[in-house]
Amino acid sequence: MYARWVLTALLTWPLLAGLVVLLLPARLAKYVALGASLVEFAISVPLWWTFAPAGGMQFVADHTWIAAWGIHFTVGLDGISLFLVLLTTFLMPLSILGSWSYITKRETGFYTLLLVLTTGMIGVFVALDLFLFYVMWEVMLIPMYFIIGVWGGDNRLYAAIKFFIYTFFGSLLMLVAILVLYLHAGQATGVYSFSYAYLLSNAKDLGPVAWWLFGAFFLAFAIKVPMFPLHTWLPDAHVEAPTAGSVILAGVLLKMGTYGFLRFALPFFPAVALNQSVQLVIVVLSLIGIIYGGLVAMVQPDFKKLIAYSSVAHLGFVMLGIWALTLQSVQGALLIMINHGVSTGALFFLAGMIYERRHSRLIEAYGGIARVVPLFAAILTIVSLSSIALPGTNGFVGEFLVLLGSFRTYPIATALATTGVIVAAAYLLTALQRVIYNPLTNPENEKLPDLTPRELAVLIPLLVGILWVGIYPKPFLQRMEPAARALIEQMKPNAASTAGQP
Amino acid sequence: MTGPLLLLGVLSAAGGLINIPELYHGNAWLHHWLEPITQASTPLLPAVPLSTSTEWLLVGIAVAVAVVGIVGAWQLLKPQALVPARSAPEERGFARLLRNKWYVDEIYDALIVRPLVWLSREVLWKQVDQRAIDGAAVNGAARGARALGWANRWLQTGQVGVYVTAFVVGVLLILWRAMS
């Protein structure tokens, strides 16, 4: 019973709640939004137990939407999307609670947009109809544009427009590619449908067109990931967005790019994706992302920008893991996607909390505040260590698996990628030293109040996630394994039997 | 320092307890940490059966190293003769080199840290990221689009005469193409 309505409910509930928020007085907006997002999370939690790891696509719901064009409302969940949906529903209440005192103007609009955004994000992860996928992809773009453009920092309009045009450019190319796939399958079989399974089974014999289509999907997803050199929208958007915006951007929106590769670009065009030159380009770009992203993060004076560039590096690991296509590397990539959402989300929350106290994002504005705000310092340390991938934290398990799995496919690239781990330690530990240690020189920092119970309520769930995945990743890996294995078999039918063996 | 050392001591003991040697009939919990990922590689690992005497030997060596360290440090430093660093005489010659850790930090800083930070800040960030990628390519594309619009602006003068002229020129061009 639950399996039939859960995904539909997850998609419609935030929209309904958003409508309610619109109708209520502004001072109630955040309470209603928090309540609604907690209900949303509660609806999604049983997915964890009821999900059958070996069951392939499940919780499927299928309704005709626009029959004349073969457009359906089809949603479903597998081991790849399960955690992304859970990550989204997990981060939303925290984002709303984290905006409690940060957002002081036009609260109605802000919380409505956050709720609409929830629908868009979950929709992207569960859509099994390419038209629905495209609609959801755009649905999530618009609220984020307003969140950055209205509630952002000083340079918010520049960042918002850049984010929008950049992402939109890629997604329009993707729309063209989707239409070509739709027409190609329709002309070949006489049945016109946007269904994922149908288009997937009819995506063969595309000939040289496959290269163009892959290119279009690649651009759309690579911008979103973001891969070097398509990343420069990210530092602007992350820095200018309000805390909740940065958390969701880093936590969920970036994963849509890597998710798109896993769900669409790879299975639809395996021959192109596994072409030697394509592999070379992607691995080199991932590697540049890892090392270049880390080095540039190291010299950022602005703490939020540092986190933004560190995302480029982390997502480089994900891309490397995906393309290496071994069981460990794909599971590691999936795990990093979750870990990055939790750890980087926590870093952005912490950056936002200290910004609310001092109104500066510059690292040099701080120093020695460990004595003044010990709780903040302790949590920042733990979260930073998890972002560095210290053993015992979530980051380690993900990066270790990616490096372990990728080494078999790309030994040299993987060896080089390990330097990224060292660079991560360099930029985060020096930032940590300059923010919470060193002598306290600025008198403005002497009277900073420590974290409030509300802020702890935001951070503690994230800390639990960091340690849980770090110490006992088995429940996560078990649920991902069949989906990762299926992807590898789809991509490399000959290697299927040896996918799990070294 | 006593507090942190106590804490570290307790944690070390906890770390050791995760994998107690077979000698004491212990558990190898750490072995199973990353299951099921390591499942594939587990059978490939050579099972090394350690004899009881080897284990005793290893334990003995570890304890001996610790004891030698403690006794050696006690002998060398003579704790009763130590004075606070502030009132100690300045080191000379070799002792000074030792006090400065062979200047490893300084050498490392000059050879690796500073060049890398300079490269990252001045070249990668300011030139490659800000100037080339973001400035020339990304914002350059925006400027290019705007320039194109600006350049074509004169077509939209609002003066009917200009439109008519363009129309006539166009018609003539088409006619000329059709004739030749």
- Kindly indicate the confidence band of residue B8, based on its pLDDT and cuts at 50, 70 and 90: very high
Query: Which sequence spans correspond to the domains of chain B?
Result: 7-39+51-100, 101-157
How far is the alpha carbon of A448 from chain B, nearest alpha carbon, in Å? Answer: 26
pLDDT for the residue A296: 94
CB distance A429 to A353 below 8 Å = no
For helices A81-98 and A327-358, give the axis angle rounded to 10 degrees: 10
pLDDT over 50 at A231, yes or no: yes
A261 falls within a domain: no
pLDDT over 80 at B33, yes or no: no
Q: Average the pLDDT over A491-499 and give the result.
A: 58
Residues of A with CB under 8 A from a CB of B: 162, 165-166, 229, 232-233, 292, 295-296, 298-300, 327-328, 331, 397, 400-401, 404, 473-474, 477-478, 481, 500-502
Q: Which chain B residues touch A298 with a CB distance below 8 Å?
A: 116-117, 120
- Kindly indicate the confidence band of residue B34, based on its pLDDT and cuts at 50, 70 and 90: low
pLDDT in tens, A171-215: 999 999 999 999 988 888 888 999 998 898 888 778 888 899 999
* CA A246/CA A236 separation, integer angstroms: 10
**Distant-in-sequence contacts of A492-499, Cβ < 8 A, 24+ apart:** A492/A270, A492/A274, A492/A325, A499/A326, A499/A327
Q: Which chain B residues touch A404 with a CB distance below 8 Å?
A: 37
A488 falls within a domain: no
A117 falls within a domain: no
pLDDT over 90 at B24, yes or no: no
pLDDT over 70 at A274, yes or no: yes
Query: Parallel, antiparallel, or unpaired: how do β-strands A71-77 and A58-66 relate?
Result: antiparallel
Residue A438 gets the label, from left (phi > 0), alpha (psi -120 to 50) or beta, of: left
Interface A-B: count of C-beta contacts within 8 A: 48
Q: Which chain B residues touch A327 with a CB distance below 8 Å?
A: 40
Q: What are A66's strand-pairing partners?
A: A71
CB distance A75 to A220 below 8 Å = no
B43 contacts chain A (CB < 8 A): no
In a 10 Å sphere around its CB, with 0-12 CB exposed, 13-18 middle and 19+ buried, how is residue B155 labelled?
exposed
Question: DSSP label at A103?
Answer: -
- Kindly indicate the confidence band of residue B36, based on its pLDDT and cuts at 50, 70 and 90: low
Q: Could you give the C-alpha distances from A120 to A139, A148, A472, B59, in angstroms and in order?
A: 5, 16, 31, 60
Residue A350 lies in domain = 276-476
Average pLDDT, chain A: 90
Q: Which of A111-120, A174-183, B40-49, B138-147 has the lowest mean pLDDT?
A: B40-49
Closest CA to A157 of A241, A252, A235, A243: A241
Q: Average the pLDDT over A57-65 and give the result.
A: 89
Task: Write down the ipTM of this complex.
Answer: 0.81
CB distance A214 to A267 below 8 Å = no
Number of domains in chain A: 1
Return phi, psi of residue A31, to 5°. Answer: -65, -45
pLDDT for the residue A494: 59
pLDDT in tens, A303-349: 999 999 999 999 999 999 999 999 999 999 999 999 999 999 999 99
* CA A287/CA A1 separation, integer angstroms: 46
Q: Average the pLDDT over A115-126 and give the result.
A: 94
Half-sphere exposure for A383 (CA within 13 Å, toward CB): 26
Helix H, strand E, coil C: the string for A106-159 is: CHHHHHHHHHHHHHHHHHHHHECEHHHHHHHHHHHHHHHHHHHHHHCCCCHHHH
Q: Which chain A residues touch B36 with a CB distance below 8 Å?
A: 474, 477-478, 481
Q: Which of A102-106, A415-419, A490-494 has the lowest mean pLDDT?
A: A490-494
CB distance B85 to A267 below 8 Å = no
Closest CA to A139 of A151, A153, A150, A126: A126
One-letter identity of residue B180 = S
Number of residues that make up chain B: 180
pLDDT for the residue B37: 66
Q: What are A72's strand-pairing partners?
A: A64
* Contact residues for A120 (Cβ-Cβ < 8 A; gap 6+): A136, A137, A138, A139, A140, A141, A143
